[in-house]
Structure 1
Amino acid sequence: MRIAFLIAPEGVEQVEFTEPWQAVTDAGDSPELVSTEPGEIQAFNHLDKADTFPVDRTVDEVSPDEYDALVLPGGVANPDALRMDEKAVAFVRGFFEAGKPVASICHGPWTLVEADVLRGRRLTSWPSLKTDVRNAGGEWVDEEVVVSGDGAGTLVTSRKPDDLPAFCSTLVEEFHKAA
């Protein structure tokens, strides 16, 4: 399976990117880092700069048709930047329109809010997104991992880095079910 990881040029929470990346790699899948700009992305450990990672392709070069699933890591600045990029938002929306699985953790659902794909879905996120999720028509819950099959495609969500073990195993399982 080819899995797109959509990440802004800076602001992703490193562990919310690297652990799911490793989980899909360990499952025998092929992850690709997609961003809004070529070059490298700058990851963060909370508010401190962490490592940089090479961008495989930009949103200008890709289509959801090329991938089997999508992962949206968190970090406060990452999804906030993505939601301001029309091509990134359209890329995310395309996965839902195609009925393909999507996984998002922490602040990642901000991009889902902007893509207007949460109506009627049950999900979780970092608690500060609760009102945004509800205003976008989603049902926000405080749970470690939530799998929503309400609507086109499966949506897997988690709240925070502490939820990564459950998030990673669940996203791999759900992605493979959909294959």
Structure 2
Amino acid sequence: MGTSVPLTRAERKYLLMVFLTLNEMGWTRLKRISEYANVKMPSAKQSLDSLAKKELIYYERRGAITLTAKGKMIAVQENENLQAVYKFFTEVMLINPEKAMDACWKIYFDMDEEVVTRFLQFAKFMNKCPSEKPIFIAHFKEYVTKGKLESKCPYLKQDTEKKSSGSEK
């Protein structure tokens, strides 16, 4: 997603996992990353070796894993993108936070690059737009929580009036 270092989706994902599993001292371990990824350690090790070769992490066998400056820069951007999708899912789509995070990982790392890029643009726009959220967002929230739209939507009212006036003719 716009990095100067060509990375596969798996590498981007593992770089983000390294970032998210860093302890307060700024390092993590292979076991922690493999548990976070829910994969066996040899699978995680392959991706970490690749990231080390690309000089995005410092990683020695059985040692601590840390991010290089370049790796941290990319990981921070990946995290910002993932958080934008998460915020959109939880605040606009009203999805349960745990389910939303799971969906974020799947959408962000498994969908077509062009689709993800456009979705990110929309999510970031919705999250950062200084104007009020569009009225349809409020109506959607009402619809999700109540199962129906009780408030007066000027757009739905017009459709209803058109239908009733059309049937009278």
- Point out the structure with max Rg over C-alpha: 2
Using CA pairs under 8 Å that are at least 6 residues apart, name the structure with larger relative contact order, 1 or 2: 1
Please identify which structure carries the higher strand content: 1
Relative to the length of structure 1, the TM-score reads 0.28
